[in-house]
Each structure stands twice: as C-alpha cells, then as structure tokens.
C-alpha cells in the first residue's frame, strides 16, 4: 500500500492567469481541492516539495493530506499539468475523499518469476498489452503495484485479468470482459525456424511427387 503523503499549502484569494503566473515566479504551484460536497478550495503549494513527491513514483496512487494552516484535508491527486517546454508542474487538482471512500486509480503491473516461465526460458518474449490496471480500491488500501506471476506460462499463452489475484479491497474497474494483460510470444528467430521447416517439408513433398 502506498504511504500517506503530506503536502503543506496556503490558500489563494485570486484565480486567473495573471495571479497564477505570479505564484509560479515565486516557486509556487497553483492548485485546487474539490469534491466531497464542499466548495472548491484554491490553494498553492511549493514547487520543490510537489516535485519531490511526484518523484516517488506513486504520487497519483497515494492519499495526500493537504495541510492548510494546520487543518489537514484528505485528498487523492487527480491531475498535474506540466509546462510543455520546461516540464515543470504548473497546476494540480486534488479530490477530497473520506477514509471509507472508494476511488478509481491506475495501478502499474509488475511481472514476477519470469525464470519459471517455460516460454520465456525457451526464448519467448513477454508482450505487455496493459502496463497499468484500472482498479476501484478502498482509499486507505491503494496498492503501489500489482504483481503478476508468470510461472508455468508457455509460448502462445495469454494472461487475463481473471488470472490475477487482486489485493483485498481492490477490484477491476472493467467488468464487462476478461481482458488480456500480456501474452508470451515466440521470438522472430523461433518463428523463422518454424517457417523454414514448413518450406522444407513442402519442398520434400514436391520432390517426392516428381520422383513418383
């Protein structure tokens, strides 16, 4: 489960591009906290601290406690906009949540025990169709990642969502189909070898026919 993060913030009275540019020049990032049947709260946070939390790799899947004047607001990051050239955060959105909330998040997948996959041991390639899973989770039990065990999978096998054991409190947001997450495919060398064998067999049959 992702660690709970704390992000200090200050309220801002003015919106608009001019006020936002002024905040950014001071090393601050404009942001808004919304949802929870309350009025949106305009805030700004320190850019360096926001970047530090973004670099954890699980910021978007973490509960972030926004500390405004000593009052903490439980939130889930929903969006961080970046400057198209400088790649610096220029705005952030946070959704208010309660401890018992259900939230939808994109969780990365991690494949384990590749050495125990017959297909991969024979030179097969793990073709990843989905690098993330859209899950509905308990707000206080969001997983950092989902481990998928490839033990026993051979060339031609597929891994579907039904093959994955999700952690307690999590379920797939997609429920209308048993979608594919990854497949074990033959490498090009193996395909070429099989193709050559087919041609040889055909040529042998043709030669046999001529001799007859």
pLDDT at 140: 80
As for how many domains the chain has, the answer is 2
- Shared domain check, 113 and 86: no
- Shared domain check, 80 and 131: no
DSSP 154: -
- Shared domain check, 140 and 114: yes
pLDDT in tens, 140-166: 888 889 999 999 999 999 999 999 999
Instruction: Using pLDDT thresholds of 50, 70 and 90, give the confidence band for residue 185.
Output: very high
Torsion of the alpha carbons at 64, 66, 71 and 74, rounded to the nearest 10: -40
Q: How many residues does the chain have?
A: 212
pLDDT at 201: 45
Rg of the chain on CA atoms, in Å? 26
Q: Is residue 149 part of a domain?
A: yes
- Shared domain check, 108 and 185: yes
Which span out of 51-60, 98-107, 130-139, 198-207 was modeled with the highest average pLDDT?
A: 130-139
Q: Is residue 124 part of a domain?
A: yes
Q: Which of 73, 97, 121 is the C-terminal boundary of a domain?
A: 97
pLDDT in tens, 86-125: 999 999 999 999 888 899 999 999 999 999 999 999 999 9
Residues 7 and 93: beta-carbon distance below 8 Å = no
CATH number of the domain encompassing residue 16: 2.40.240.10
> Beta strand pairing status for 5-11 and 64-68?
parallel
Query: What is the SS3 string spanning 63-81?
Result: CEEEEECCEEEEEEEEEEE
Q: Is the pLDDT assigned to residue 11 strictly greater than 50?
A: yes
CB neighbours of residue 202 within 10 Å: 10
Q: Is 127 helix (H, G, I), strand (E, B) or coil?
A: strand
Instruction: Using pLDDT thresholds of 50, 70 and 90, give the confidence band for residue 2.
Output: low
pLDDT at 205: 44
Q: Is residue 210 part of a domain?
A: no
For residue 205, which phi and psi values (nearest 5 degrees)?
-65, -40
- Shared domain check, 91 and 134: no
d(CA 38, CA 94): 13
pLDDT at 45: 97
Chain centre to alpha carbon of residue 181: 13
- Shared domain check, 52 and 111: no
Instruction: Using pLDDT thresholds of 50, 70 and 90, give the confidence band for residue 13.
Output: confident
CATH number of the domain encompassing residue 109: 2.170.120.20
Q: Is residue 81 part of a domain?
A: yes
Q: Is residue 164 part of a domain?
A: yes
- Shared domain check, 67 and 11: yes
Q: Is 42 helix (H, G, I), strand (E, B) or coil?
A: strand
pLDDT at 4: 80
Instruction: Using pLDDT thresholds of 50, 70 and 90, give the confidence band for residue 31.
Output: very high
Q: Which residue range forms the structural domain that includes residue 58?
A: 5-97
Helices (H) and strands (E) in the chain, counts: 4, 13
- Shared domain check, 19 and 84: yes
The more confident residue out of 88 and 191 is: 88
- Shared domain check, 92 and 16: yes
Q: Which of 53, 71, 97 is the C-terminal boundary of a domain?
A: 97
Residues 107 and 145: beta-carbon distance below 8 Å = yes
pLDDT at 193: 54
- Shared domain check, 184 and 145: yes
End-to-end Cα spacing for the chain: 72
């Amino acid at each position: 489960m992702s660690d709970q993060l704390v992000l200090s913030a200050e309220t801002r009275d003015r919106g608009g591009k001019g006020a936002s540019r002024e905040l950014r020049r001071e090393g601050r990032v404009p942001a808004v906290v919304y949802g929870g049947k309350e009025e949106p709260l305009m805030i700004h946070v320190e850019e360096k601290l926001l970047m530090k939390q973004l670099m954890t790799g699980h910021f978007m899947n973490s509960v972030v406690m926004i500390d405004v004047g000593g009052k903490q607001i439980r939130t889930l990051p929903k969006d961080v906009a970046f400057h198209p050239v400088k790649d610096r955060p220029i705005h952030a959105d946070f959704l208010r949540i309660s401890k018992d909330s259900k939230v939808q998040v994109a969780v990365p997948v991690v494949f384990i025990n590749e050495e125990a996959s017959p297909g991969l041991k024979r030179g097969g390639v793990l073709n990843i169709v989905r690098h993330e899973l859209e899950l509905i989770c308990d707000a206080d039990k969001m997983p950092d990642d989902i481990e998928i065990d490839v033990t026993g999978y051979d060339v031609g096998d597929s891994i579907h969502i039904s093959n994955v054991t999700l952690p307690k409190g999590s379920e797939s947001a997609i429920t209308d189909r048993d979608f594919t997450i990854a497949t074990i495919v033959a490498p090009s060398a193996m395909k070429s070898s099989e193709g050559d064998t087919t041609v040889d067999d055909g040529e042998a049959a043709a030669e046999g026919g001529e001799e007859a």
